[in-house]
Chain A
Amino acid sequence: SQKIEQNSEALNIQEGKTATLTCNYTNYSPAYLQWYRQDPGRGPVFLLLIRENEKEKRKERLKVTFDTTLKQSLFHITASQPADSATYLCALDSRTFGIGTKLQVIP
């Protein structure tokens, strides 16, 4: 069965720096991959979807890459702000979610 791993449980970075979060999967390459943000005690909020034929997708300060050879997606937040502090989840489909990386942006 497909497995998904987010390499870090927690990541601390300084305000203004670029945060990079990693999502790795096993087995077959998915048709798409999604990233969500989740604040404590709240439901996840959809951020970005990248399809298998797309190498990169951007939305404001967010950038997602998708490398089907490495079976990996990277999620970048540039010029990070304390308000970006949250847990970020990657998902391959409605059944397969990573456990998330908790990002803390330090002022």
Chain B
Amino acid sequence: DVKVTQSSRYLVKRTGEKVFLECVQDMDHENMFWYRQDPGLGLRLIYFSYDVKMKEKGDIPEGYSVSREKKERFSLILESASTNQTSMYLCASTKVGGRYSYEQYFGPGTRLTVT
């Protein structure tokens, strides 16, 4: 079974703090993604990575950065947290190529509250 884990289920941070969200997958997947999910807006792609040290901006990258130093690990960084970054953050991974290449495997999510 593919497992995608996220470092925290719930996180409360103060405005201006630097926040790190970590994601680890154990299936040797090439692609990894960070989303945020808000009521009425659905899933929105923040950043994705198709290889170690490679990253691409998604639809809403402002205020975020990412790091992928190892294949299994993809970190999302909020440089200076703001209240409008209060959201559910979801990490996902996919394999490249083959029959199952488009299926995304999601982590359990991190509910981040910025006060």
A and B found bound together: yes
Q: Is the interface of B mostly helix, strand, loop or mixed?
A: strand
Assembled-state Cα–Cα distance A97/B59 (Å): 12
* B94 located at the interface, meaning its Cβ lies under 8 Å from any Cβ of chain A in the complex: yes
CB-contact partner of A49 in B88, B90, B102, under 8 A:
B102
A-B contact pairs, 22 of them (CB 8 A): A36-B106, A41-B111, A42-B108, A43-B90, A43-B106, A43-B107, A43-B108, A44-B104, A44-B106, A46-B103, A46-B105, A49-B102, A49-B103, A89-B42, A94-B92, A94-B94, A94-B104, A95-B45, A95-B58, A97-B42, A97-B43, A99-B40
Determine the residue in chain A with the shortest Cβ distance to B107: A43
Contact with B along A65-107 (1 / 0, CB 8 A): 0000000000000000000000001010111011110000000
CA A42 – CA B37 in complex, angstroms? 11
Interface size (B, Cβ < 8 Å)? 24
Please count how many residues in chain A sit with their CB below 8 Å of the partner chain's CB atoms.
19
- A95-B42 Cα distance, complex, nearest whole Å: 11
The answer to whether A34 has its CB under 8 Å from any CB of chain B is: yes
Question: Are the CB atoms of A98 and B42 closer together than 8 Å?
Answer: yes
A45: CB under 8 A from chain B? yes
Interface flags for B14-30 (1: CB within 8 Å of A; 0: not) read 00000000000000000
Nearest A residue to B99 via CB reads A49
- Identify A99's interface contact among B42, B45, B92, CB under 8 A: B42
Q: Which residues of A contact B94 (CB under 8 A)?
A: 94
The 8 A CB mask of B41-70 against A (1 = contact, 0 = none) is 111010010000000001100000000000
